[in-house]
Structure 1
Amino acid sequence: MSAGDGAPRRLVDLVIEEEGWLDAVPDIEALAERAARMALDGAGIAADCYEIALLACNDDRIAALNADFRGKPKPTNVLSWPAFDLAPGTAGATPAAPPAGRPDAPVALGDVAIALQTMRREAEDASIPLKDHAIHLILHGCLHLLGFDHESEQDAALMEGIERRQLVAAGIADPYSEGDAAQPPVS
């Protein structure tokens, strides 16, 4: 099903809680859609059959969420709440596929929150474009919804491999390169 004008159905339901996002990343809606589709594409999943909720918030809000859900009362760059436990039982294995959705009955994959101030600080510290870092963080958060993580070296290699391929294909520098332009780690 399309948006009615021939365009694909929106994957991301974006809530902008921090108004500063509109100045920092005026095209945050299109950027979020692009990054989420990159994640699903990288995992081999049809984006038009799913939905993702994204909260664009500030450091205070993400610190409260981090405290509530992870017991860490401090800001972080991105948090994810998967709707399904898709994690594989073996380190480095591919996560299970999410339940099948359809374009006319998409399945909600979960929620992602991203903090403007932390993201901006990390981008400035690493001398990378703010938009590039935002795409990376949203891509990363969406991969968590799909059962990917970085708890073991094998899992990190799998997840980072998808991120690298998708970002480089989009013309964004490899975030895990050892060069000066490497992006800061995501949590």
Structure 2
Amino acid sequence: MKQISWNSQGIDMPELDFAAVEKWIADVASRQGRGVGQIGYLFCTDEKILEVNRQFLDHDYYTDIITFDYSDSHIISGDIVISLDTVRSNADQFVQPYRRELMRVIIHGILHLCGIDDKGPGEREIMERYEDESLEMIGL
């Protein structure tokens, strides 16, 4: 059974080598001492992610990613919702290639599932370091 599923709603699926991305995800998880369980990605619009944010988190704002963590012990599992609209806006804002920003967000969700947070003091810098190391693993 396939462990990682890729879906889109209201927007075109990004052009990625999904087999290579899945291997990369497994490698990143392994570096964190984790295995990969069931992970579902949903690529969507800003409006859809705002709807998810309101419905499940009671947040009334746009974001690039929402991660729902169902991990158990050392096996990561969850649903990851990514707004491709916000990924594109962030790439422009931070003067980054769209593909690099997309891959950063894809792995950001995996790092959350591995237990790395980015909300507390000093945590954002730790998350960014892991993101950068992960991106280096695939040559970005």
Q: After superposition, where does 1:151-166 map in structure 2 within 5 Å?
A: 151-166=119-134
Contact 2:68 2:79 in 1 (8 A): yes
Q: For this pair of structures, how many residues does the alignment match?
A: 140
Q: 1:127 aligns with which of 71, 87, 95?
A: 95
How far did 1:116 drift? 1.0
For the residue of structure 2 that corresponds to 1:142, the secondary structure is: helix
Partner of 2:29: 40
Q: After superposition, where does 1:159-178 map in structure 2 within 5 Å?
A: 159-172=127-140
How far did 1:13 drift? 1.0
Q: 1:13 aligns with which of 5, 28, 31?
A: 5
Contact 2:49 2:62 in 1 (8 A): yes
Matched residues, percent identical? 23
Q: Distance in 2 between matches of 1:124 and 1:157?
A: 21
For the residue of structure 2 that corresponds to 1:147, the secondary structure is: coil
**Runs of 4+ off more than 4 Å:** none
Q: Deviations over 1:87-135 (max 9, x none)?
A: xxxxxxxxxxx4356xxxxxx6111000011111111222211111111
User: Residues 31, 78 of structure 1: CA spacing in aligned structure 2 closer, same or farther, 3 A cutoff?
Assistant: farther
Contact 1:35 1:138 in 2 (8 A): no
- Structure with greater proportional helix content: 2
Contact 1:12 1:53 in 2 (8 A): yes
Q: After superposition, where does 1:15-30 map in structure 2 within 5 Å?
A: 15-21=7-13, 25-27=14-16, 29-30=18-19
What root-mean-square deviation, in Å, do the aligned CA atoms of Structure 1 and Structure 2 show? 2.4
User: Residues 142, 10 of structure 1: CA spacing in aligned structure 2 closer, same or farther, 3 A cutoff?
Assistant: same
How far did 1:81 drift? 0.6
Contact 2:6 2:40 in 1 (8 A): yes
TM-score, normalised relative to structure 1: 0.64
Partner of 1:184: none
Partner of 1:99: 73
Task: Give the residue type in structure 2 aligned to 1:158.
Answer: I
Matched, 1:112 2:80: yes
Contact 2:70 2:78 in 1 (8 A): yes
Q: Distance in 2 between matches of 1:144 and 1:152?
A: 13
Q: Distance in 1 between matches of 2:126 and 2:38?
A: 23
**Which of 145-154 and 59-68 deviates more?**
145-154
Q: Distance in 2 between matches of 1:61 and 1:32?
A: 24
- Structure with greater proportional strand content: 2
